Amino acid sequence: MNRPVQMPDLATTGEVAEYVRSSVARLAQLRYMGRGPKFIKVGRKVLYRWSDVSDWLNRNTMQRTGGPHD
């Protein structure tokens, strides 16, 4: 019997914005500047993998103002 392939959990821009306490517009700016989490385009729709959001947050975790967390 064939098992269905488990797909990654996807989130909308609104869901990610709420999670990171930001706005949909700010995420759009970050996408444009190439500084936000990786995203997927399906037609005009933008989706995010939660794992990519988590990776992006980890890369942007700081221990102090002057530099990244090691």
Over residues 19-43, the pLDDT tens digits come to 999 999 999 999 999 999 999 999 9
Instruction: Please give the pLDDT value at position 26.
Output: 98
Q: Is residue 66 part of a domain?
A: no
User: In this model, does residue 65 exceed pLDDT 90?
Assistant: no
Predicted local confidence at residue 63, as pLDDT: 81
With respect to residue 70, please indicate whether it lies within any of the assigned structural domains: no
What is the domain count for the chain? Answer: 1
Q: Output phi, psi for 22, to 5 deg.
A: -130, -165
Question: Is residue 4 a part of any domain in this protein?
Answer: no
Whole-prediction pTM value? Answer: 0.79
Residue span of the structural domain in which 18 resides: 10-52
5 found inside a domain? no
Asked whether residue 35 is domain-assigned, the answer is yes
How far is Cα 38 from Cα 1, in angstroms, rounded to an integer? 35
Token pair listed for 41: 């385009």
**For residue 64, is it within any domain?**
no
